[in-house]
Chains A and B, each alone.
Chain A
Amino acid sequence: MRPPAEAIGTLALIVGAIAVAIFIGVEGALVYAVWRYRTSRVSTPARFDRNTRLELAWTAAPALTLAVVFVLMLGTLRDIGAATDAQLRIRATGHQWWWEFDYSGIVTANEMHIPIDTAIDIELASVDVNHSFWVPELGGKTDMIPGQINHLRLLTRRPGVYLGQCAEFCGVEHAWMRIRVVAETKEDFDRWLATQGSPATASGDGARVFQSNTCVNCHAIRGTSARGEAGPDLTHVGGRATIAAGVLPSDAASIRAWLVDPQRYKPGAFMPRVPLSDADLDALASYLGSLR
């Protein structure tokens, strides 16, 4: 089976070439007509106004072209269709305005890791409004619609980082609902998944600040008593490249800046500003950054 993005890319090249040929033909005829039949070159216009054979020809020619395009499309559709051969299932759930990824019970957020050369079935769900999961270099988009599960087949051969974006308008922070997909070798992926499955180990002052404030109402950190579900799971947040669905990098300084005023970076997001002392902020930021 071909990677969906590759199959779509090939089809795009073929359809694009046909479209460019038609474009050149039609615009060329138009420019020719304007140039050839300008007032200074014609004294009396012709009077013909019909040619049934010609009309039928230019009704049939587009129909035939489209038939060819349709047949080519059928082949591509087979390549991008739902995975019946899936070796890995990931449940992706859209939230206003972040992503939850569930690997059969191991939950993470906003950064999805996938093994290369593996057919993956992404189950798409939403807990609130419509979203759409889209990583252009991996394939087409599929909507997340509350009340139903959609499926998207993913397969890539190249390791790397692939950026995506929620593609269905979902409210004020639709723009800052980015996806980061890390495609890696099977071994790296297995190691990553094992890490994600383990509980958090870091502790210290920051852990105390986290546990004794409203953070726990919305966020979970496995291995602690924090079990909130409204916001992203933070068990290994420091191991992700970004926070807040792609708004800021995940270093301690950025985490601190985010905690001081989330609305400055993602106006409209549900993350409130939690009043903390400078010392608590420092401790909390370094604690979250150390959750790898």
Chain B
Amino acid sequence: MSAVPLWVARPAGASAAGWLRTVDHKEIGVLYIGMGVALFALGGIESLVMRAQLATPNARLVDPELYDQLFTVHGVTMMLLAVVPLLVGFANYLVPLMIGAPDVAYPRLNALSFWLSLVGAIVVYFSWIAGGAPDAGWFSYPPLAERAFAPGPGVDYYILGLAVNGAGTIIGAINLAVTILLMRAPGLRISRLPLFVWMTLVTSFLILGAYPALSGGLVMLFVDRQLGGHFFDPTAGGQPLLWQHVFWFFGHPEVYILVLPAMGMVSEVIPVFSGKPIFGYRFVAASSVAIGFLSFSVWAHHMFAVGLNEFETLLFSVTSMLIAIPTGVKIFNWTATMIGGRIRLLTPMLFAIGFIAMFVIGGLTGVSLAVVPLDLQTTDTYYVVGHLHYVLFGGTMLGVFAGAYYWFPKMTGRLLSERLGRWHFWTAFVGLNLTFLPMHWLGVQGMARRMWTYAADTGWGPWNFVETAGAFVLAVSMAIFALNVVRSLRGGAIAGDDPWDAFTLEWTTTSPPPPENFRTLPAVTSRRPLWDRKHPEMRDAS
């Protein structure tokens, strides 16, 4: 075994050219994850600059132009360029292994979707050195995003970058959906799919429904800006609200695109570390499908303040409340899985429990946003910023870390350090609560979103300072994780095939897996084929 483990065992060995032309799903998965990590770091640095600027009232660390670029690119990065590749990367690596397939359905298309995604991200970031980054928000509302009010090239880079990135994401989703539907091992019925695969399947369909809406909107915005169109220009009969409908028709499913795979990850981790099968498998899977459908019917809850009529207001309030039901079902099922189990509090499980604990907060504040009168007070304030970061950092990112600690040994053959892992978890837990909890009451007190500074007489200074301190605690936390990864790659404990006493097919092959993934496949007669192999006397009923 070499000092630096190979990400995947490949006969020719890793080389730059090899990475460029690879069509292996595991290597493309690693490329996606690398892209996601790099962009997550960039988006994180952007947020640290913003938090430093907001630490005290009337600060002048950055000017408003730069601040607007920072929050726009931070949003675009975290919503589209960093976390989607991270999740797609894990799906790319893991789905074929979890369903007993040698690769994805279309390996070359897989490479194309990664490179399109990466090029799109590069186009967005290229704007920083090409005349200015986009500065109209990640939501890029016209008329502010029209040329009359945003004459620089930033919004054009946003349009082009997201269109290209989106094409990659759409192609990737087709590939994953086809793979899951057609390439499962014999005996692995849909009703036996690991829940991470289930949620990846639902996510793929969400991408297929949502991303084309964004692409269409981007084309319209491009026509307005570059070809003299008037889709969103009220001075020529256009309708600014059309963009908001199109954008949020994409934007709200996007939130579930970011959350569902992380829910899938904790749905794998919790049963294994509780030593029990998942409680209510059918309800967990079906609730994902319900969330998937409902997510396309809630978009206008982002728009309660735009002057919707009474029917629209009530309709979107009801649908937005309904989506809390399948979400709650998942929380209850994860908890019930732990009850009666034997809970091993190792790092993956710590993060999975942290995911539930924090996601509950984001979920409850989310329901408050469906209650229209409350939304009218809190929308477009820091309350929403707090809410969405509990969902996407407290939720998605803690879930991704659970998945990262869980599957890193499979991908590299090495275990991550438990001691650094606990440091990572607790600093992340403290940091995210310090950063995002005070946002709720600052928002209610009147702090609107996207303000580059605020007056001292508002009294918002002290809590903003706390938030900034929390953000730097989070930065330290991320550095601890990076240290853990680097140290383990150099000399972490050897993992073996099945370090966690797990249940699913990916743990039956070597760590890292061979190019063809499996030399032999166990017979699949239940949801836990590896459990069945290890405990032939207590096999699961099919």
Contacts and interface: CB of A to CB of B under 8 A. Distances in A.
B381 interface: yes
Interface stretch (B5-13, B169-177, B337-345, B406-414): B337-345
A69 B344 CA distance: 39
B280 A50 contact: yes
B343 A26 contact: no
Nearest to B234: A147
Interface string B284-321: 00000000000000000000011100000100011001
A141 B342 contact: no
B374 A49 contact: no
Interface residues of B, number: 85
Interface string A205-227: 00000000000000000000000
Given A130-B240, A175-B454, A19 B328 contact: no
Interface in A175-193: 175, 178
B235 interface: yes
Interface in B442-466: 444-455, 458
Interface in A53-87: 54-55, 58-59, 62-63, 66, 69-70, 73, 76-77, 80
Contact of A37 (B141, B339, B447): B339
Nearest to B240: A145
Interface stretch (B29-37, B87-95, B355-363): B355-363
Given A12-B374, A37-B341, A173-B64, A132 B380 contact: yes
Contact of A129 (B144, B324, B379, B452): B144
B144 A49 contact: no
B496 interface: no
The majority secondary structure among interface residues of chain A is mixed
B134 interface: no
A230 interface: no
B281 interface: yes
A277 interface: no
Contact of A170 (B65, B144, B333, B447): B144
B68 interface: yes
B372 A73 contact: yes
A276 to B, nearest CB: 25
Interface string A131-155: 0101010011111011110110000
A167 B380 contact: yes
Interface of B: 63-65, 68, 136-137, 141, 143-144, 149, 234-235, 238-241, 274-283, 305-307, 313, 317-318, 321-322, 324-325, 328-329, 331-333, 335-345, 353, 356-357, 360-361, 364-365, 367-368, 371-377, 379-381, 444-455, 458, 538
Interface of A: 7-8, 11-12, 15-16, 19, 22-23, 26-27, 29-30, 33-34, 36-39, 42-51, 54-55, 58-59, 62-63, 66, 69-70, 73, 76-77, 80, 96, 128-130, 132, 134, 136, 139-143, 145-148, 150-151, 163-175, 178, 246, 267-268
What 4 A-B pairs are tightest by C-beta distance, nearest first? Answer: A140-B376, A147-B234, A46-B340, A45-B275
